Amino acid sequence: MHLSSFCLFLRACKTTKGSITLRGCHSDVRRFILENTEVVGDQSLTPEIRLRLFTPKCKFWNERPELWPFNDPYWAIYWPGGQAISRYLMDNPEVCRGKAVLDLGSGCGASAIVAKKCGAKHVTANDIDTVAGLVTIMNSELNNLEPPVCVADNMISSEPEPFDLILLGDMFYDETLATTLHAWLDLCIRTHKTAVLIGDPGRAAFEANAIHQHLHQVAQYELPQSVREENYGLSYSSVWRYRPRF
């Protein structure tokens, strides 16, 4: 299934705002994820890590959306912006070594996992979907790492915590969210002088956002062929450092 078809699947899934209540006990949800994902390693910018994701071999790649029991499974795709951030950290571990790191909108937890591998002192993975938190724990175990702290509260617009580094990939897909993010990141930088890295493959909504005039590109990566095919032919993904001029 092409990513465009998969996105239709995502929009059709029944969702609720904020955190969700998992259907069944923790072990049942873990078993469901194990049965309906595949371990993927070498088809990304970071072959050093393995992740449980949706692939064409998985049941719900083509299943009727109404049969999916949880929130939209954005955690089941390793999005190109997150891939770029993770690759950048792998290549430049000093960026997060010894630091308190927040992976915002963490999804499958790849960037949080890489931050742990690169020696971050403390890592928090934040995603409002509690299933994503469980997947992050499972993916950490898959990579023989202690899981990060997984938080399901909506941290955007909350009182900033003293993180040294915030990572966010593929988050500038909606204008309203982008505006809220922009303001909250400014507050984090003003309050704690937090460094911010943004990963994006050059989506139109990101390129057109006002935040773009305050970004400094630090890396660009050519996407693997399979990732290009799943993302409308986008060929590259970049990492940007956000440096607002107050």
Asked if the model's pLDDT at residue 236 lies above 60, the reply is yes
Instruction: Name the residue among 141, 142, 93, 143 with its Cα closest to residue 121.
Output: 93
Tell me how far apart the alpha carbons of residues 199 and 89 are, in angstroms, rounded to a whole number.
11
Structure confidence by residue, pLDDT tens digits, 170-225: 998 888 888 899 999 999 999 999 999 999 999 888 888 889 899 999 999 999 99
Specify the pLDDT at position 238.
Answer: 98
Helix axis angle, 80-91 relative to 110-117, nearest 10°? Answer: 0
* Token pair for 108: 């499958």
* Residue 59: DSSP 8-state: G
Q: How distant, in Å, are the alpha carbons of 59, 97, 127 from that of 154?
A: 30, 26, 7
Asked if the model's pLDDT at residue 14 lies above 60, the reply is no
Q: How confident is the model at residue 92 (pLDDT cuts 50, 70, 90)?
A: very high
Specify the pLDDT at position 25.
Answer: 52
CB count within 10 Å of CB 67 equals 9
Structure confidence by residue, pLDDT tens digits, 128-186: 999 999 999 999 999 999 999 999 999 997 999 999 999 999 998 888 888 899 999 99
Instruction: Name the residue among 218, 215, 111 with its Cα closest to residue 165.
Output: 111
Contact 124/166 with Cβ under 8 angstroms? no
Tell me how far apart the alpha carbons of residues 34 and 141 are, in angstroms, rounded to a whole number.
13
Specify the pLDDT at position 70.
Answer: 83
